[in-house]
Amino acid sequence: AAEEIKAVVGRRDLDVISFMKVSLARAELKRLTSFNHEESESAKLEALVAAEQHLSAFKVCWIDSKLFQSLEAH
């Protein structure tokens, strides 16, 4: 059961890493692209949403690390 949990958590963490890479690439592309005021406001909102998603992803990773520590302790 512990190995199955580790496999599921590992896949989820890889998904989080992939999401973060895509988010950073999109942010870099937006930074390099000139855009008008409306796009600027939209980009700010997207950045806030992405920041919240990143925080949530880091929480998931932190919980996963605590789960691994607990599994290894047993």
Q: CA separation (Å) from 21 to 36, 37, 43, 70?
A: 25, 26, 17, 29
Q: What's the start-to-end Cα distance of the chain, in Å?
A: 12
Going residue by residue through the chain, which has 74 residues, state the pLDDT in tens, using 9 for 90 and above. Answer: 667 777 777 788 778 878 888 888 887 777 666 556 677 788 888 888 988 888 888 888 888 888 888 888 87
